[in-house]
Copies of this chain bind each other. A is one copy, B any other.
């Protein structure tokens, strides 16, 4: 496969994007070829368009020369493949220079941004505007792209946690280089593009999420107004068998709207990896029996959860009452935390402990990032867990790709049902332990009826053989999960062939792909199965 672009293609890309818009430095390309697991794909160039017109131009050049291009926004798709293209030989189309905040509407609660705008950038912008609006941040890097995460259907922690559900009015560069706007956006004098998602006629937004049908160069992100009052809650369950009843107790509150945001539950391994790196000296993998001892020693529990209540003081008080009622007997501890309590606790940890019997000092350090996320404050503290099995300490600027952190994420969805959740967790824990990895698992009550699990395989890429071992584990896990009907909401670049199993569904995707991208230049293989013909062209 191509390690370098043909000279005439390179010339045309440079003409379209400028000299500094095309990178071919081998070291730089090598960095981009590196993910948190083993990949073999080579990248012949990195294209860095400065604006949407340049994106269109780059796409046209790609068509002219038959060069495959692979768009990334910020490229922080860690655990799923980082910046690495699905197919070998794709030029990377890096959209990070498109970083304008185009429109901001405090009254109607939205912002229109380009793909280079990060969580942190929007957060800072809103602060500077003294805005009353909150963002919803993922627990990934503060520097991950809002649009990139939303079109990958990532999620966060506030009532706006389903990111794609809060995206609207997409500007898309099609594989032909033509530009469209979805919904009402782009219609002459239209005033409702950013506020009403469906528009009129077929709804096309979904085509540009988890796909290779177009490049989203602009979108409106809805933002929630800060509530009068906010209170986070944290709960713990010591018993191994507590999970099903816990899920079943939370479901009605999620269904009836008392809980408006995603609730996150982690198993003990997940919590431990949030507290510290692998306790070297222990044997690999940490066994459930050993975990039980560690839980006693380090004072954490088999299951831990977090969520928050948003509203007026009285709305929150009523939600708190209902939550207490629902979780009574289902959890061993349920604590509520608000800004005032944090201020008090930070100042007077000793008197606070005397009053409440709770030592908040250490707890607060661990909880603060989660507490912040529940209010949409980006954090990079969660990235530390990617260093779980590294024998280096977590650097100030964590960068899993660079530091050889091994990380594979699998994200199956289940019904919000205790038995189903238990089955999923059992499957994941058994499989990972059998392959020699600690099963770090989170369960997020993402929507009213479904939960998304994130299962992490965390390892040290520097150790020979671990890459292969981790991938074998991942394959095994995927196979077990799908056999039981737990399909992932999102795929890593090593799993994209999954859709190929769907017969008429795959053919439909391919028909659309052929119609929109007859030369197959845009992100070949990404979520849309290659036709036999395309496979031949790539081979």
Contact = CB atoms under 8 A, between A and B. Distances in A.
Contact of A203 (B196, B207, B507): B207
A153 B198 contact: yes
A191 B420 contact: yes
Nearest to A204: B206
A191 B413 CA distance: 9
A165 to B, nearest CB: 8
Contact of A108 (B209, B415, B498, B528): B415
Q: How large is the interface on A (under 10, 10 to 19, 20 to 34, 35 or more residues)?
A: 35 or more
Given A200-B210, A205-B206, A260-B257, A505 B180 contact: yes
A529 to B, nearest CB: 9
Contacts of A190: 485, 487
Contacts of A447: 195-197
B449 A222 contact: yes
Interface in A479-512: 482-491, 498-499, 501-502, 504-505, 507-509, 511-512
Contact of A491 (B200, B255, B417, B485): B200
Contacts of A109: 255, 448-449
A184 interface: yes
Interface stretch (A79-87, A309-317, A434-442): A309-317
Contacts of A430: none
A509 B202 CA distance: 8
Given A318-B318, A485-B189, A211 B202 contact: yes
Contacts of A310: 257
A538 interface: no
Given A195-B416, A196-B450, A487-B200, A186 B502 contact: yes
Contacts of A33: none
Contact of A486 (B153, B191, B315, B527): B191
A13 interface: no
B512 A201 contact: no
A315 B318 contact: yes
Contacts of A359: none
Contacts of A486: 191-192
A506 B501 CA distance: 32
A184 B505 contact: no
A126 to B, nearest CB: 16
A415 B191 contact: yes
Contacts of A508: 174, 178, 180, 204, 516
Contact of A202 (B206, B225, B416, B498): B206
Contacts of A499: 200-201
A396 B450 CA distance: 44
B201 A527 contact: yes
Contacts of A186: 502, 505
Nearest to A174: B508
6 contacts: A110-B449, A191-B420, A192-B413, A199-B487, A200-B491, A318-B318
Query: What 10 pairs across the A-B complex have the smallest Cβ distances?
Result: A203-B206, A515-B515, A195-B449, A191-B485, A189-B485, A202-B211, A196-B450, A201-B527, A178-B504, A314-B318
